[in-house]
């Protein structure tokens, strides 16, 4: 099973700042089958990024994904109030699919 | 609006059973694989089970294999999860999600329901 480790656990930033979230895999994620999801309190997760760098439908371009192999990054270029949430990475190139533990982006 | 609506959650005693349903609307249900993901209170996400668009292939996490059964009725646009021999550690919000492909493998989840809470306790 591929273990995903997200860092940091919590990121304290102000609106307008840049957020950089990391996701590291215990082994290489094949074909960049890596996704990012956003979850706000009491809500279901929402797909942001798939294939490591492709934005899902309707996702604003301030969200971007990068990386390959074992190291992946989600960048939010300028934080807006709605972006303060928990973010999860997921690999779906190995069986079973696994999620990281999440990074909480909170208002500083 | 594209929507997934779960139902069937509730309080059940250890060793008991529940059947979750997930009704899909406003998209073509049949060809797409579907998945169940759960989230224990205050915890992260855990993949539980997936089924191909045709229903011929099913996949399970080791933690539920032999106890849970995923199925679908494409004529009713509905996904199911039969949960037997429930344990306290199965307590979670259960989400159904639409895969962005047909097989149940190598796919992200592009539409999610709002979830249904399952509590296993005496």
Each residue's pLDDT tens digit, A60-106: 999 999 999 999 999 999 999 999 999 999 999 988 999 999 999 99
**Cis omega (within 30 of 0) for bond into B6:** no
Which residue's structure tokens are 């604003």? Answer: A60
Q: Is A41 on the interface with B (CB under 8 A)?
A: no
Q: Please tell me the distance in Å from B43's CA to the nearest CA on chain A.
A: 8
Residue with more model confidence, A39 or B103: A39
**Average pLDDT taken over every residue of chain A:** 96
Buried b (16+ CB within 10 A) or exposed e, A19-49: bebbbbbeeebeebbbbbbbbeeeebbbbbb
In which residue ranges of chain B is pLDDT below 50? none
Confidence of residue A27 (pLDDT cuts 50, 70, 90): very high
What order of strands is seen across the sheet that includes strand A71-76?
A: A4-7, A19-25, A71-76, A63-68
Q: How many whole angstroms separate alpha carbon A104 and alpha carbon A64? A: 17
pLDDT of B117: 98
Confidence of residue A32 (pLDDT cuts 50, 70, 90): confident
Q: Is A33 on the interface with B (CB under 8 A)?
A: yes
Check: CB of residue B37 under 8 Å from CB of residue B97: yes
pLDDT of A71: 97
Which candidate from A45, A57, A98 shows the least CB-CB separation from B112? Answer: A45
Check: CB of residue A87 under 8 Å from CB of residue A102: yes
Is B106 in contact with A31 (Cβ distance < 8 A)? yes
Q: What is the Rg, in whole angstroms, of the alpha carbon atoms belonging to chain B?
A: 13
Express each pLDDT in B56-76 by its tens digit: 999 999 999 999 999 999 999
Instruction: Answer yes or no: is pLDDT of A31 > 80.
Output: no
B116 sits in which H/E element:
strand B116-120
Percent of chain A with pLDDT over 90: 94
Q: How many whole angstroms separate alpha carbon A70 and alpha carbon A99? A: 14
pLDDT of A21: 98
DSSP line for chain A: ---EEEE-SEEEE-TT--EEEEEEESS--GGG-EEEEEE-TTS--EEEEETTTEEPTT--TTEEEEEETTEEEEEESS--GGG-SEEEEEE-SSSS-EE---EEEEE-
pLDDT of B106: 87
Which candidate from B100, B106, B113 shows the least CB-CB separation from A44? Answer: B113
């Amino acid at each position: 099973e591929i273990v995903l480790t997200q860092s940091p656990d919590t990121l304290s930033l102000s609106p307008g700042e840049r957020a950089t979230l990391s996701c590291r895999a215990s082994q290489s994620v094949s074909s960049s089958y890596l996704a990012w999801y956003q979850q706000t309190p009491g809500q279901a997760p929402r797909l942001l990024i798939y294939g490591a760098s492709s934005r899902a439908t309707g996702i604003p371009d301030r969200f971007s994904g990068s990386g390959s192999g074992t190291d992946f990054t989600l960048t939010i270029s300028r934080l807006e109030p709605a972006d303060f949430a928990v973010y999860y990475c997921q690999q779906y190139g190995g069986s079973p699919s696994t999620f990281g533990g999440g990074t909480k982006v909170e208002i500083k | 609006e594209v929507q997934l609506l779960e139902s069937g959650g509730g309080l059940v005693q250890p060793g008991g059973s529940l059947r979750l349903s997930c009704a899909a609307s406003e998209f073509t249900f049949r060809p797409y694989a579907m998945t169940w993901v759960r989230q224990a209170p205050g915890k992260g996400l855990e993949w539980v089970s997936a089924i191909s668009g045709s229903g011929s292939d099913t996949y399970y996490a080791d933690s539920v294999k032999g106890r849970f059964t995923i199925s679908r009725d494409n004529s009713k646009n509905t996904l199911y999860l039969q949960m037997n021999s429930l344990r306290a550690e199965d307590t979670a919000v259960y989400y159904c999600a639409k895969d962005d492909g047909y097989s149940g493998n190598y796919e992200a989840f592009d539409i999610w329901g709002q979830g249904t809470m399952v509590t296993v306790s005496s």
